[in-house]
Amino acid sequence: MHFLNQFVINFSGLKLGVHEFKFDLDNSFFEHFDYNDFNSCNISTKILLNKKSNLLELNFCSKGSINLNCHVSNEPFDFPQKNAMNLVVKFSSEKICDNEEFLILPNGVSQINVSHYLYEMIILSLPIKIIHPGVENGTLESETLNALRRYEENVHRKNKKTDPRWDKLKDLI
C-alpha cells in the first residue's frame, strides 16, 4: 500500500478554488490492484479538484495508450485511451451509502486516496471484447486469423448440407 500513498490528496490545507493534480500511470500501478492484462501502458491523468466550503468536486481526465492482446487474433496492439469522470465528495456525520458519483466522508477527514477511482475509470473504459483494428478492417494477416478463416469455411460448408427429410417441409411453405 506504500506505493498507492502517492495518490493521496490532502485537501485540508488547500484554499477554496480549483487545484490541479497530475499522475502518470504505468503497469506498476495496475499490478498493485492485481490486474495484469496489459502488456504495457502509459497513461497521463489530471485531476481538477474544486474545493468549496462544504464539498469537493473532482474531475478526472486520462489520456494515453495501453498495449493489449486482441481477443480474436491474440496480436498485441496499442489501444488509445481517453476518459473522464466526475466525483462529488460531501461531508457528513451520518453514515450514508455512497454511489458512483457521490462520496460521503465523515466530518474531520482531511485527505482522499484517488488511486481506486483512477483504476476504475480506466478499467471500466475498456471494451468487453478487445479487437485489433486490423481485424476489424481486414488488413491484419496472421496465422491465427488464417486458421480461423479455414475453420469458418468448413463450418459454412457443413451448414449448407441439409437433411433430405427436412427438405420436403420446405415444399409446404
pLDDT digits (tens, 9 = 90+) for 79-122: 999 999 999 999 888 776 656 678 888 888 899 999 999 999 99
Q: State the pTM of this model.
A: 0.79
Mean pLDDT of 56-82: 93
CA–chain centroid gap for 43, Å, is 12
Q: Give me the chain's average pLDDT, please.
A: 86
Q: What is the pLDDT of residue 17?
A: 95
Q: What is the pLDDT of residue 158?
A: 63
Q: Please report, as a single letter, which amino acid is at residue 168.
A: K
CA distance 134 to 142: 10
Q: Is residue 1 over pLDDT 60?
A: no
The count of C-alpha atoms lying within 13 angstroms of the C-alpha of 115, restricted to the half-sphere facing its C-beta, is 17
Q: Which of 9-18, 59-68, 96-105, 155-164 has the lowest mean pLDDT?
A: 155-164
3-state secondary structure the chain: CCHHHHHEEECCCCCCEEEEEEEEECHHHHHCCCCCCCCEEEEEEEEEEEECCCEEEEEEEEEEEEEEECCCCCCEEEEEEEEEEEEEEEEECCCCCCCCCEEEEECCCCEEECHHHHHHHHHCCCCCCCCCHHHHHCCCCCHHHHHHHHHHHHHHHHHHCCCHHHHHHHHCC
Lookup result for grid cell 474531475: 59
Q: What is the pLDDT of residue 100?
A: 67
